[in-house]
Amino acid sequence: MALHAREREVLLVLAEAEQPVKIKQLAERFGVSLRTIKYDLERIRERLAGTSAELVSRTNRGVWLEADADARRRLREAVAAEEAASVATASERQTRLVLALIAHRGFVTLEQLAETVQASRNTVLADLHKAEEMIGGWNVDLERESGKGIRLAGAEADKRRLLQATVESTLTGSEMLRIVQDLWQDAPLQRDIGRKLESSLLGRTDMERIRIVAGGLIRVWRKRTGKDVPDEEAIGVLFRLAIAVKRLREGRPLPRESGEWLKERLPAAGPEAEAAAVCLRRIGEALGELLGGGESAAEPYAPEAEAAFVLLPLMPAEPDSSPEQQSRRAELAAYVRRLVGLLAVRTGMPLDRDGELFAGLLAHLARKAGRKRLGVDDPRPLAADIARSYPELLEAVREAGERLEGESGFRLSESDAAYLVLHVQAAVERERETVRFRAVVVCGTGKGTARFLRTLIQNRVRTIEVAECCSVSEAEKAVARTGADLAISVLPMRLPVPVVKVNPIPTREDVEAIRACLDRISSARGAKGAISLGEEGPESAEPRPFAESLRRLDPAVWPEAEQLARELTIRGFELTQAVLDRFKPMLTDATAAGLSLHLLLMVQRLAFGHPYEEPADGRPPLSAQETEWRKALAELFREYGLPAAESEWRAIMRYFQT
């Protein structure tokens, strides 16, 4: 166990003293309170456990070391070695400064801080600037006053959040996960972790008692609610219980009025309310025991407020049903879209069309926002490891977050940015795995149709990236400009690359023809390392025969596949008739035929969970007439048991003519 600077000095005084030393004398010598010296002596007693020296104290006599001359010499050598090993890096000094500022009740001088971190006054001044960056975003500030020094100003709840974040920053991802493992397995905290926590939280004996209590709370919660407890919530309970004990010993209780706010966040009914009641009672009892029946609490405290503070990590976030919550979620969704757009530009990959990435980021940030409203900042065990593994992507996420912060007011913390990197990296890997071919789409019927073709093709053939949509006259230049592997055209034509002719609304056979062309391109790449047209020249690819497609299915599922195809065809036909009857005045014979095929294919897409995707940002506002059409389509979708799909409704309305 390593001692702090003052504790080492106290031990040296005792090692050199020939007579007992009064605690009051030690307090006066080091300029601290009697309580602080008592804590120092307790840590020294722990440090001496298992050695040939013993710290003895007697009322009215003082404290002294029971040790012979050789043991005292070894102690002085050990203290000197600890002193030499205590030279900290800049990051470690800044962390110590933050911890010291949190611990002090009032102002602290630069000289006192210099002694705490064992550095010069100028070094401390430079470190304080970095420390201010560390405390940014926690609703606390460094307050300076001439003649007094510096203090940390802010609410106690915010100081506790900062303390938790600072303690977490001293631990590696693997150490955090080992703490979680010890909690679940009801095993003692490992020695190296205990040594780290005693320098920022509490001694190993206290931390072990707290680990036992926290583990019991988590098991009670899981048993009574029937829900698993995520790792970050489990470790949050452990840290908060330790922080509550530490702050109460330092005379820093939560204000009584904050207890009401905290209790309002607890569930009012159901299994979670019952579990909360049991856990709150156990936390109150544990605090009493850990604080010696309240005797070691420097100030009176409200047990209900402290217990609620400890339990908050297990609380569910507010439901999304309120108008206010839904408005916040809509704002967050807009933020995520802009964030993904910036990352797509930065990485040069079409991340903005990855629905899984959007959903993952939105879910992550929505949970974070909900937890923040609870006053909970979940630990992020792997944040540092992610930062080391993906530094460039982390920098891209940071830059995008900083760019959006001014307009959205949403601030990404360092750990949040790191965890978003996981989602983005997964999307990058998906894109690298799927996009292997570049294509140009040739369509002479307008940009809207071209965009529709591009989206439909990329959704159905995930290995294709449509590099450009162009007209017939621009096709050859577009192929050269983009380095396309193939062209997909609504008209038959010859180009320097393979051309697949498709219908304006591609059919299943069209999609199979595209895939067959890609197979041939892949074979040519494998054989020659480049695309070869062979003797056939750049002619349109032929569709794959239907029998060949059927042979790809296991014959055992053919009856089920036939039944499913029949049901989808009937439902598609019924919906088509209903839509044609309802919107007959807006359709010509040609558009009615095209819409019929579109609806039949749409029913199949929706059945397999693949709705037509269209970027929401690019949607023009609906006219009054279109709003009425949309309402009628929504009613038909409900009548035929189809999921609501804004993009599908808009695609259908493109066939209508006023």
The predicted model gives 127-142 an average pLDDT of 81
φ, ψ of residue 441 in degrees (nearest 5) = -105, 120
For residue 108 the two structure tokens come to: 């602290």
Asked if the 323-429 domain carries CATH number 1.10.1790, the reply is yes
Closest by CA position to 227, among listed 284, 261, 263, 267? 267
Q: What is the pLDDT of residue 320?
A: 53
Tens of pLDDT along 421-446? 888 888 877 766 566 788 999 875 55
Tens of pLDDT along 352-362? 777 788 888 88
Q: Which pTM value belongs to this model?
A: 0.54
Contact call for residues 14 and 57 (beta carbons, < 8 A)? no
The predicted model gives 537-562 an average pLDDT of 50
The predicted model gives 185-211 an average pLDDT of 85
pLDDT winner (highest mean) among 282-286, 389-393, 618-622 = 282-286
Assign domain 5-85 to a CATH class. Answer: mainly alpha
Closest by CA position to 237, among listed 311, 150, 305? 311
- Is 424 exposed, middle or buried, given 0-12, 13-18 or 19+ CB atoms closer than 10 A? buried
Contact call for residues 94 and 131 (beta carbons, < 8 A)? yes
Fold agreement between 5-85 and 323-429: no
- 144's enclosing H/E stretch is strand 141-145
Q: What is the pLDDT of residue 593?
A: 77
> 589-607 and 646-653 are packed helices; what angle lies between their axes, rounded to 10 degrees?
170
CATH number of the domain located at residue range(s) 90-154 in this protein: 1.10.10.10
Instruction: Report the alpha-carbon distance of residue 506 to residue 581 in Å, rounded.
Output: 24
- pLDDT: which is higher, 118 or 69: 69
The predicted model gives 596-609 an average pLDDT of 80
Instruction: Report the alpha-carbon distance of residue 425 to residue 429 in Å, rounded.
Output: 6
> What is the chain's alpha carbon radius of gyration, rounded to the nearest angstrom?
34
The predicted model gives 502-529 an average pLDDT of 78
- 384's enclosing H/E stretch is helix 383-389
- pLDDT: which is higher, 259 or 425: 425
Cβ neighbours of 18 (radius 10 Å): 5
Q: What is the pLDDT of residue 259?
A: 65
Q: What is the pLDDT of residue 535?
A: 30
The predicted model gives 46-70 an average pLDDT of 87
Instruction: Report the alpha-carbon distance of residue 508 to residue 513 in Å, rounded.
Output: 9
The amino acid sitting at 278 is V
- pLDDT: which is higher, 369 or 630: 630
Q: What is the pLDDT of residue 612?
A: 62
CATH number of the domain located at residue range(s) 435-551 in this protein: 3.40.50.2300
CA 55 to chain centre: 48
The predicted model gives 146-164 an average pLDDT of 89
Closest by CA position to 316, among listed 360, 371, 278? 371
Q: List the single range of 207-216, 555-564, 574-583, 623-632 with lowest mean pLDDT.
A: 555-564
- Domain ranges (residues) in the chain: 5-85, 90-154, 161-314, 323-429, 435-551, 556-653
Q: What is the pLDDT of residue 548?
A: 47
Contact call for residues 633 and 649 (beta carbons, < 8 A)? yes
Going by the DSSP 8-state scheme, the letter that residue 619 receives in this structure is: P
Query: Residue 438 pairs with which residues in a beta bridge?
Result: 465
The predicted model gives 556-576 an average pLDDT of 73
Query: Residue 499 pairs with which residues in a beta bridge?
Result: 487, 540
The pLDDT-based confidence of 323 (bands split at 50, 70, 90) is low
- pLDDT: which is higher, 70 or 292: 70
The predicted model gives 585-614 an average pLDDT of 76
Quick check: 16 pLDDT over 80? yes
Tens of pLDDT along 263-318? 676 777 788 888 988 998 999 999 988 887 544 555 678 888 888 889 888 887 66
Instruction: Report the alpha-carbon distance of residue 572 to residue 568 in Å, rounded.
Output: 6
The predicted model gives 236-259 an average pLDDT of 87
Q: How far is CA 257 from CA 139, 224, 262, 263, in A?
A: 19, 29, 9, 10
The mean pLDDT of the chain is 79
Contact call for residues 360 and 423 (beta carbons, < 8 A)? yes
Cβ neighbours of 264 (radius 10 Å): 9
For residue 125 the two structure tokens come to: 């001044």
DSSP structure string for 435-485: --EEEEEE-SS-HHHHHHHHHHHHHH-TTEEEEEEE-TTTHHHHHHHHT-S
Contact call for residues 211 and 183 (beta carbons, < 8 A)? yes
The pLDDT-based confidence of 538 (bands split at 50, 70, 90) is very low
- Share of the chain residues as helix, strand and coil, in percent rounded to the nearest 5: 65, 5, 30
Q: What is the pLDDT of residue 304?
A: 85
DSSP structure string for 96-121: HHHHHHHH-SS-B-HHHHHHHHT--H
**pLDDT > 90: what percent of the chain?**
9
Quick check: 594 pLDDT over 80? no
Tens of pLDDT along 73-97? 888 777 766 665 555 667 778 888 8
Quick check: 553 pLDDT over 60? no
Contact partners, residue 395, CB within 8 Å, separation at least 6: none
The predicted model gives 467-494 an average pLDDT of 86
Q: What is the pLDDT of residue 528?
A: 43
Q: List the single range of 15-29, 484-498, 542-556, 564-578 with lowest mean pLDDT.
A: 542-556
